[in-house]
Chains A and B, each alone.
Chain A
Amino acid sequence: MAVETQGARSREGDWHRNSRARQARERIIKFLLTACAYVSIFTTIGIVVVLFEETLRFFLDVSIVEFLTTTRWAPQQGDFGVLPLVYGTLMATFIAIAVALPVGLLTAIYLSEYAPKRLRRWLKPALEILAGVPTVVYGYFALTFITPFFRDSVLPGIGSFNALAAGLIMGVMIIPTVASVSEDAIYAVPRSLREGAYALGATKRETATKIVVPAALSGIVAAVILGISRAIGETMIVTIAMGSQPNFGGSPTESMQAMTAYIVQVVGGETPRGSITFESIFAVGSALFLMTLALNLASYWFVRRFREIY
């Protein structure tokens, strides 16, 4: 069979364009992809429904006012004042931010203004490894290294479980979050602002701290809020290193229980499902969810505001 060469174009019969089948396939694929995107919506709906359904049941037995305002948490005795757990969570979070805010921000300044390009390329991933360390590992480190270190050096009276070691290590855990989001913001500050400062006779430090950082402020605020949100939701470090004793008003060297640690304690125990105690983890979970939700939305808002400026 010789190839016919009478025309440069092939004959119409050589093509098998089944446009109707193709269109149908496109529609099916679009449907499947849309479904994938909607999984995230269903996840959120699922979280809200599961949490609030059980929480509602809990509040049929325990008054919401008691839950939110009293300061004794002892489920066995029927005392459900959530404040001691909130106190534990906030104490650890506060210590964590006291570490992560200065260290993270200074790290961000170093990465974007000072680090040689090649070093920056390796330092950022190294920080990501820090963020990827499982939190049980941090918990182990806080419990078996940091706490004994404090006991043997400056704080002989520190408890085996305490908020200080847990908070400090949690701070290390969120350094990468604060540093990375702040660095993105600082890096995004236009070159022209730095040049404007240099042209007035500013030094590198003056430019970085007085022009660049203020210009990136809303991005940095977003980073810190995100860090707070991470710390509040962190579970294993506080479970392992801070203890399981609700302790309202305790000092950082004492054992106290965080909200997340309480949930772990209950699901790991023999508490029967459907009991008030079991339902209480959903109430605590709801409080946790709402706290982090508010922080995440605030962070999102700050990031958007930052993007609008530049």
Chain B
Amino acid sequence: METKKTREGRGVSEVSDERREVRPETGGAAPGGGSTLGMKIENLAAFYGSFRAVTDISMDIQANKVTALIGPSGCGKSTFIRCLNRMHEVIPGARAEGKVALGEQDIYAKNSDPVVIRRRVGMVFQKPNPFSKSIYDNVAWGAKINGFRGNVDELVERSLRQAALWDEVKDRLKESGFGLSGGQQQRLCIARTLAVEPEVILMDEPASALDPVSTQKIEDTMSELKKSYTVVIVTHNMQQAARISDYTGFFYIENMGDPGHLWEFDETEKIFSNPDRKETEDYVTGRFG
């Protein structure tokens, strides 16, 4: 079942040709493809106090691609993704070790400022978390605090359009963000993230709390986003991973209480059709998890 759907997936057939080939479908739309950066992770481990939640993670996240992270619950996908913009350490007692490079810069280097890093590596959370502000201010706030010099109205409209929300909210920008439906709230959170113009967007199960229609809209948005951004998404939904991602990482824990590992990482089609490891195959074919 899973593999069949995968073959039909549009996103996968693109990548399958050749890894080096640059965005065949975007043509010349993206100005000088180098506007976004990939990430390079080396030997990353994350802790909650003395508990080692994930360990030994090394992977390359390709620029302008969607990388999906899948795996059973509790194996550290969310913890890992939070290490990529230093959100992990916001939790009291939590810390990370290892190297995470954004382009050339190690975000865990001494002179790296987490606040600056988070502006450059945006994040969309599992549950929509709009601020108690108007729709407009929800989008504009992050840009304002980060010293945005351009036209804010334009920025808000552009961000909302990119998040496929503009048409639904353009007449009520001054209303509270709480008044939107769950799916709209999540797209608002995506727009808010886009408005600070990050290089990379991290998404932690962005559609898990949403209905199928909203999920579809979020997925549509994502395939647009990868034209201009590098996207990393954690998902429990394997069809979703297969449909939208170019690369897939499978996280796994061998024994209860052990830290999570990156068990296998490859092109999405390979992971879903012919993975190297048995646990990956069991998982993607739905035999457990």
Asked if A153 is at the interface (CB within 8 A of a chain B CB), the reply is: no
Interchain CB contact under 8 A, B87 and A200: no
B146 contacts A195, C-beta separation under 8 Å: no
> Which one of A117, A199, A309 contacts B132 once the chains associate, using CB atoms below 8 Å?
A309
Chain A residues with CB under 8 Å of B127's CB are 192
Task: Flag whether A98 is at the interface (Cβ < 8 A).
Answer: no
Q: Assess the B133–A199 pair: CB atoms within 8 A.
A: no
> How many residue-residue contacts, CB under 8 A, span A and B?
71
Check B116 against A215 for contact (C-beta < 8 Å): no
| Nearest-CB residue, chain A, relative to B138 | A196
State whether the Cβ of A206 lies closer than 8 Å to any Cβ in chain B: yes
Measured CA separation A117–B92 after assembly (Å): 10
The answer, yes or no, to whether B96 is at the interface (CB within 8 Å) is no
Q: Are B145 and A199 in contact (CB under 8 A)?
A: no
Question: Are A200 and B192 in contact, with the CB atoms below 8 A?
Answer: yes
Min CB–CB distance A120 → chain B (angstroms): 12
**Residue ID in chain A nearest B122 by CB atoms:** A199
User: Could you say which of B85, B125, B129, B196 has the most chain A C-beta atoms within 10 Å of its C-beta?
Assistant: B129
- B123 → A minimal CB distance (Å): 4
Question: When chains A and B are docked, how far (Å) is the Cα of A215 from the Cα of B177?
Answer: 12
Q: Within 8 Å of chain A (Cβ to Cβ): is B226?
A: no
Choice from B87, B92, B116, B146 contacting A199 with Cβ under 8 Å: B87
CB-CB under 8 A for A206 and B145, given A199-B118, A200-B119:
yes
Is the CB–CB distance between B90 and A202 below 8 Å?
A: no
Given contacts A192-B127, A206-B145, contact A200 B196 (CB under 8 A): yes
Bin chain A's interface residue count: 20 to 34
Instruction: Find out whether the CB atom of A202 lies under 8 angstroms from the CB atom of B132.
Output: no
Bound together, the chains give a CA A206 to CA B131 distance in angstroms of 13
A7 within 8 A of B: no
Contact of B242 with A by CB under 8 A: no
Which of A198, A201, A217 is the one whose CB lies under 8 Å from B196? A201
Name the contact of B125 in the complex, choosing from A117, A192, A202, A203 (C-beta under 8 A). A192
Q: Is residue A197 contacting chain B, with contact meaning CB distance below 8 A?
A: yes
Contact across chains for B115 and A199 when beta carbons are under 8 A apart: no
B116: which A residues are within 8 A, CB to CB?
201
Q: Is B178 part of the binding interface, using a Cβ–Cβ cutoff of 8 Å?
A: yes
Q: Tell me if A201 and B131 are in contact (CB < 8 A).
A: no
Given the known interface contacts A196-B189, A210-B145, the answer about A201 and B129 at a Cβ–Cβ threshold of 8 Å is no
A292 to B151, CA, bound (A): 48
Chain A: CB-nearest residue to B189: A196
- Is B275 interfacial (CB 8 A cutoff)? no
Q: Is B47 an interface residue (CB 8 A)?
A: no
- Our pick among B117, B120, B125, B145 for the contact of A196 (Cβ within 8 Å) is B125
Contact of A201 among B90, B115, B178 (CB under 8 A): B115
B230 interface contact, C-beta 8 A: no
From the candidates A194, A201, A210, A309, name the one contacting B119 in the complex (CB within 8 A).
A201
Known A-B contacts A196-B125, A215-B131, A309-B178; the reply to A202 vs B87 at CB < 8 A is: no
Chain A residues whose CB sits within 8 angstroms of the CB of B178 once the complex forms? 309
Contact indicator B133/A214 (Cβ below 8 Å): yes
CA distance A117 to B133 in the complex (A): 29
Indicate whether A200 sits within 8 Å of B125 (C-beta atoms), given known contacts A214-B133, A215-B132, A309-B178: no
Closest residue of B by beta carbon distance from A189: B132
Does B131 lie within 8 Å of A199, measured CB to CB?
no
Which A-chain residue is minimally distant from B133 (CB atoms)?
A: A214
Chain A residues with CB under 8 Å of B192's CB are 196, 200
Q: Beyond the given A195-B90, A196-B129, A215-B131, please list 13 additional residue pairs across the A-B interface where CB-CB is below 8 A.
A: A190-B129, A192-B127, A196-B130, A196-B192, A199-B122, A200-B122, A200-B193, A201-B119, A202-B118, A210-B141, A211-B131, A217-B132, A309-B178
> What are 6 of the A-B contact pairs (CB < 8 Å)?
A117-B92, A192-B129, A197-B142, A201-B196, A210-B141, A217-B132
Closest 10 CB pairs of A and B: A201-B119, A200-B142, A199-B123, A192-B129, A215-B132, A196-B129, A201-B118, A206-B145, A201-B115, A203-B115
